[in-house]
Structure 1
Amino acid sequence: MEKQNSRFRWVVFASVLFTYLLMASQRTAPGLITDQVMRDFNVTASTIGLLTSIQFFVYTGLQIPMGILVDHFGPNYFLILGAILTGLGTILYSLGTHELVLFSARILTGTGDATIWVSLVLILSHWFNVKEFVRLIGLAGMTGSLGFLLATVPFSAWINLLGWRTAFFSAGLLLCFCGILLTFVLIKKPKQIFPNESLSVKKEFKLAGTLALLQRTFSDRQAWALFFCHFGVVGGYIGFISSWAVPYGMSVYGMTRSDASQLIMMGLIGALIGAPLTSWISSKLETIKRPYVIVHFTILLSWSSFLFFRGNPPFPVVVMLFFLIGFGFGASALTFALVRQTFPIKESGIVSGFANTGGFLSAVLLPSIFGTILDFFQTTSGSMTDGYFYGFICPVIFSLIGLIGVSSFKEKRQDSGRKATVHSS
C-alpha cells in the first residue's frame, strides 16, 4: 500500500496522537477540582462519583457501535467529530452553573472521547504496516498516559493561574482546533497526495453481515478473555485517578492539591515507561501473554497492598504503588496488540471496541462504588481513612478479574499470527 511508504504517514501519526493527548487529559482533569466542584455546587461524594462515571458510561456504551461504524465507514470523520464534541463538552463544563449542566457536559465529552481509541487503531492500521504497528501502539498508549500527566501538575498550575473555568474553556477551544486540523490531515491532504487511492471507507452498510460479526464476537472466548483482561487493568487506575486520587492524598496524608497531583504523577510516569517497555519486551520475547500475565499479577499485588496497610501505607510505599499501578496501565496497550495478532484486520474495529468496553466498564463502576463507600463511612464513623480502606476492595476485585482474563487467553504463535494478518489484508 502506497500510504504505508509515504512520509506523510508520520504527519498523520503526530496529528492523531496530539489530539489523543488532549482528549485523554480531559478524562481525568476534572479530578483536580473535585473539592471545588463539591463546594461550589454543594454536591456529595456520591454525586461526584456519578459525574465521573457518566462520562465513562457513555464512552463504554459507544465502544462496540463505534467499532462497527469505523469498520464500515472508516475512522477519519468519526475522529474529527469526536475531537470537536470533546472540545464543546469541555467548554460547556467550564460554563456550567448547575450540576445538570455538568452532567450534560460530561455526556458530550464522553461521546466525543468514545471515537478516539478505536479510530486511532484503525488509522494506524491503514497507514502503517504490521511491524510498525506493533511498535507504534505502545507509543500510542504512552501518549494517553502523557495526556493524564498533562492533567496533573501542568493543568493544576493552569487552574491556579486562571481559575478552573477559564482553564477548561481554553482546553475546549484547543480541542475544537484539533478537529479542524484533522480535517486537513486526514481528509483533504490525502486526497491530494493519493488521488487514485481509496481512503478505506466502505460505502455500504450490510445489517446481516454486521449482526453476524457481532454474534461471532460475543461468542468468541478469545474476545471475552480480552474484555476481562482490559477490565482489570484499565478501570481501577483511570477510575481512581479521575475522581479520588487527589482527594485521597489531601484527606489521608494532609497534602495540598498541588502535592497530591505530584503524587499521582508517579503513576503516570510508570504508565509512560510501561507502554513502550512492555511492547519492546513482548517483541523481544516473541510473546505478549507471558509478560502481560506478570503485569496483571503485579497490579493485583499493588492494589492489595492498600488493604494490607488499611488504606494508609507509608508514604514511600504509596509512591511505589502508584508507580507500579501506572506501569500496569501503560502496558494495557498490549490488549490491542493481541487483537491485531489474533483477529483479521477487517474485524479489528469491533473487537477493539469490545475489549475497550471491558476496560472502561470498570472505569464506570469504580468511581460510583468508591464514592458510595466514602459517603457511608463519613456518615457513620466520620473517618475518611476507613472509607478509603474499604473502597480499595473494589480495584482489588477488578484486578483479580483482569488476571483471570489474561490467563485464559490462548495466544497464537508469532508465525501464525503473521499469516492471519497477511491473509486478512
Structure 2
Amino acid sequence: MRSSDVPGYTAADLHRYVAEPDKRPGRTAFQRDRARVLHSAALRRLAGKTQVVTPGSYAHAWDATPRTRLTHSLECAQVGRDLGAALGCDPDLVETACLAHDLGHPPFGHNGEKELDEVAAGCGGFEGNAQSLRLLARLEPKGFTPDGRPVGLNLTRAALDAATKYPWPRGGHPVDPASRKFGVYTDDLPVFHWLRQGAPPGRQCFEAQVMDWADDVAYSVHDVEDGLHAGHLDPNLLHAHPERREVFALAAARYAPGAQEDELAEALDRLLDQEWWPHGYDGSPRAQAGLKDATSQLIGRFCLAAEGATREAYGSGRLTRYGAELIVPRAQRLECAVLKSVADRYVIQRPDQERIRAEQRVVLRELASALTARAPEGLDPQFRALFTEAADDAARLRVIVDQIASLTDAAAVALHGRLVRRGA
C-alpha cells in the first residue's frame, strides 16, 4: 500500500505542513506519524510525570509500580486503537492521537498546569492540551520549513487534528467562553488553521472523539485500580451512605454536570452489582487477579457500549474524520464519571496531598522567577536559542514556560534546588 492510499481518508488528510519524502516506502502516512510520536523525547519524558499515585506509595513492596503519564498514554493508545479499528478508523491514526494526547502535561499534573497558567498570564496562559499541539507542531525537533522555522514532528493534518481534544483557542469554547479548556495558543494559530482546514468550527473529528473516550476510560478505570493497590481506597466505603453522597456531589460538580444524585447512585450500584466488582479487595494474589479482571471488564463495558450505540446510529460502514459522531450511552458516561469521582475523592484529595501540592506550586513559581532572571544562560540549549530569537517579552515568557513544562517531576525539583535553594 502506498502512503497515499489509506482507506477512508483523502489526500488532504495525509498532507504534512512541510512536504517530505518517505525514508521507508511501503508505510502508510499514519504509520510514520505513530513512529514519530513513539520515538519522541516528549513521550519518553512522560515516564517521569506522575499520573495519580506517587511511585513508592503502594502498600505492597512487591507491586510498587503505579502508573505514570507514559503508562497511562500507552494504555489509552491500546484502548483507542481497538475501539477506533472496530468503528472503521485507521488504527495507527487513533493510536498516534492517544499517544500524543498528554505530551504537553507539565510536572506535577493538573496542579502544575494551574500554576503555570498563572505564570504564563502575560503570554496567554497555559493549558496542557494546547502545549501538546505546540510540542507536536513546533517544539519537538524533527522538521523545519525551507526558511528555518521549526514544524515539530511534522505530522499529517489528520494526526494533528485527531490529537486536538479542544479545537479552539482560549475563550473560544463553542458553548462556554469562560471554560479553562482550550487547544491552541495564539502564536500557534497558523498551524492550527492549517490542520483545521475544512473542519466544522469547534467540532472534534471522529478520531479525536475516540481518543477522548479512550482517555476517559483508561484513567477512570486505572486510577481506581492504582488507588486500590496503594491502599488509599477501601471498596467497602462505597456502600456507606455519607461516603456515597460525597462521591456523587463531586461527580455532579466536576465530571457529570447536571447529573442527579439518584442517577449517579444507580450508576455506581450497577457496577457494585457486577460479580466481577473487587469487593473486599485485600491485596492478596487472588484479589490482584480479581482486580485485573474487573479492570478488563470495565474497559470492555465502556468500549462496547460506545461501539454498539455508534454502530446502531451509523451502520456498519467505515467511520472517519467528520462523517460521524461517537455516541456513548449516558449510562456508561455516568458510570465513568462516578469512577473518576471515586479516584478524586480517595486518592487525589487525600489529607497529605494539599501540603504536597502547595510545595509543588512554590517550586514552579520560584523556578519561573529564577529562569527569567538568568535567561537565556540558565535555559537548556534548545530553549536558549528560542529565547534569543523571541520577538518580545510575551514570546520570551512563553519560552520560559515551555522549558518548565518540558521537565519531569524530579527534574523540576532538581533544577529548583540548583537555581533557587543554592542561590538563597
- One fold, TM greater than 0.5? no
What TM-score, normalized by structure 1, do the two folds share? 0.27
Greater helix share, structure number: 1
What TM-score, normalized by structure 2, do the two folds share? 0.27
Q: Which structure is richer in relative contact order (CA contacts within 8 A, separation 6 or more)?
A: 1
Larger radius of gyration: 2
